[in-house]
Structure 1
Amino acid sequence: MDHNKIQVGVIGCGSIGREHIERLTNVVPETEVVAVYDYVSEPAETAAQQYGATVYESGEALIRSDEVDAVLIASTDDTHAAYVMEALKQNKYVFCEKPLALSAEECEKMIEIEASQGHRLVQMGFNRRYDSGYVEMKEAIQNNEIGEPLMIHSAHRNISQSPGFKTDYAITRVAIHEIDISRWLLDEEYDEVQVLKVKQSKQTSGDWLNPQLVTFKTLSGQRVDVEVQTDGAYAYDIRCQVVGENGTLDLPDPASVVKRNNQSVSNELATTWAGRFGKSYDDEFLCWAKGILNDQLMGASTWDGYAACVTSDALIKSRDSGKPEKVTMIEQPDIYK
């Protein structure tokens, strides 16, 4: 790079894209957003005016531009794979929001290209790896503070969903965070997974299954269960408990004041993911910028995106079959080890 800052092009200027543009502009000192694209022109033009960026006529043109050093993909799920492939072909760093792709085959093609190039170019948007609570849990496990982890009990509860939500999204957009963070905490791949149907909530505003109970078994036999409540919950609330041989780890609620009034004790819970995980996104992008400058990405990789995709496919298959399904993955290339 022959300029002072990493010049970033952003594909997708919806709510999450705009949040990330704001971060790259005002939180990460090493980056500057110079290019934007959205298939709906209005949000791209608004973002361009606000942040002094150039609007491109397509995502591919943005990726190929000499003006752009690195690419952030925050567009619709079905477009991620093609944009990541184009960035890999152009040998450019790319940050991709989850999911990496809609099929395991697409992920395998990316892995093949990246492995042949011999260095990582892709970082996945699994922000929980940067949340202080999960980081502390990981360190406690690595320091053997609770002995060998045996199981994880977790929950992902949402107040509402935007129109058009579908049953599969409970896995591919919601539980995908637990798929990744549980792998990361345990440092294990999954062997088999299952979706269990439970009594349905009358609070669900659409016709999708809610809640769903998702379970994973790792290769060494550890068990993970995730209650996925996508609609009608009391708050946006993320729970996680790791049970070890010699103790347990409980994910803390984010720091908040405990209030005593009206003969009760209370503290506030978040209503959206932004209220709960905002700082983790900041730290994630600071890490991405540092990784680009050092030519060594440290965040979630193409392999992690692939693992989440294969696991999601197996879970959806299990929901349809009513029985556990195997998670079958290709051999891991050395660049991800």
Structure 2
Amino acid sequence: MKRTVGIGVFGVGKMGQAHVRRINDSLRGARVVAIGDPAPEFAHKAAPGLDLPDDAVAESITEMCARPDVDGILVAAWDGEHEAAALAAIAAGKMVFCEKPLTPSVEGCRRIIEAEEKAGRRLLQIGFMRRYDTGYQQMKQVLDSGRIGDPLLAYCMHRNPSQGERFESHQIITQVMVHEFDISRWLFGEEITRVRVDRSRSTSKAPEGLIDPLTAVLWTESGVRINVEAVCFGRYAYDIRCSVLCEDGDVALPDQLAPTIRDASGVRHEIGTDWLDRFKDAYNIEIQSWIDSVIAGEQDGPSAWDGYAAQAICEASAEAMGSGAEQPLDLMAKPAIYS
């Protein structure tokens, strides 16, 4: 078994560069030996700042997959590039980590699932990092133990200080709520069966025409109701909360990760403004887990099926946002390799 594996990172924007530094500076068992980007010239410009030689740049995902020193490929390119990159890596027999979304369409997710079925094993892990967060892990342990009874209701809140200039209303679902969709499936170990999306008065802090905030209601197979709130131009902080009411008590995500400050101004907690800071430890644990999978040659993290299920919820939610009606989910039969 190799002690150190070579990683190729395809997509070297903010997230991709953060992953390169994470792997090379903070994690064990791997080194980034190749980088690439849909715009190859961008990868060439990024290489010196990442302390990588110019010959580390692969001109395409095909070239990266063909390199013998690349054992695993991390896809952090823009969403529309995920499917082609993941399919190329799977075809080459490489372990692949793909940032969410798996693809921007249910059909694309199915093609990746079909590719893994053809390969006869799981090769892909999708980047749902909240599953690796200590607070969410503690919540799941309580729920799985059954000591506060069966879950009844859940509330998820996701507030961002701002978004990019080109941010559109549907992205509140596909870029923000998607995290709540996945973490709900994971916390309860059940699929979502139906969803409704409600609009409210939009904040004046959002660009004109943008719907913000947005709320959704989801139901699991056993009938747990999940209320999801998403705000994209909340201004004050990056604020993530989650709580679950059960028959004999409730459990909540730790509200603050920073220390309590007491001074002449009163008692307060500082709140972060950036998702990379809030989930730094979760990202490290997530990528280390994937590296360990590459070394072992066996994948066990969030799967292509999880990416497909989350995208199906996103598409049903987008339809519900347009129609105002409750939308059912009709998932394909779950392939055996994901059971």
TM-score, length-normalised on structure 1?
Answer: 0.96
Per the alignment, residue 33 of structure 1 pairs with 32
For 1:269, the aligned partner's letter is I
8 Å Cα contact 1:33-1:51 kept in structure 2? no
8 Å Cα contact 2:23-2:30 kept in structure 1? yes
Between stretches 92-101 and 63-72, larger displacement belongs to 63-72
RMSD: 1.4
Q: Where do residues 1-337 of structure 1 align in structure 2 (5 Å cutoff)? A: 4-41=3-40, 43-49=42-48, 50-53=50-53, 54-337=56-339
For 2:52, the aligned partner's letter is G
SS at match of 1:308: helix
Aligned-residue offset at 1:263 = 4.3
1:114-171, CA deviations, whole angstroms, 9 ceiling, x for partnerless residues? 1232221000000000000000000111111221111211110010001100111101
Number of matched pairs: 336
List gaps (5 residues or longer) in structure 2.
none
SS at match of 2:9: strand
Aligned counterparts of 2:126 and 2:147: Cα–Cα separation in 1: 29
List gaps (5 residues or longer) in structure 1.
none
1:29-75, CA deviations, whole angstroms, 9 ceiling, x for partnerless residues? 11110111123445412442233251111122212322311100000
8 Å Cα contact 2:23-2:32 kept in structure 1? yes
User: Percent identity over the alignment?
Assistant: 37
Aligned counterparts of 2:45 and 2:30: Cα–Cα separation in 1: 20
TM-score, length-normalised on structure 2?
Answer: 0.95
SS at match of 2:279: helix
Aligned-residue offset at 1:4 = 4.3
8 Å Cα contact 2:256-2:269 kept in structure 1? no
Aligned-residue offset at 1:292 = 1.7
Aligned-residue offset at 1:298 = 2.0
Aligned counterparts of 1:39 and 1:336: Cα–Cα separation in 2: 30
Between stretches 257-266 and 71-80, larger displacement belongs to 257-266
Aligned counterparts of 1:230 and 1:222: Cα–Cα separation in 2: 26
Aligned counterparts of 1:57 and 1:120: Cα–Cα separation in 2: 27
8 Å Cα contact 1:35-1:48 kept in structure 2? no
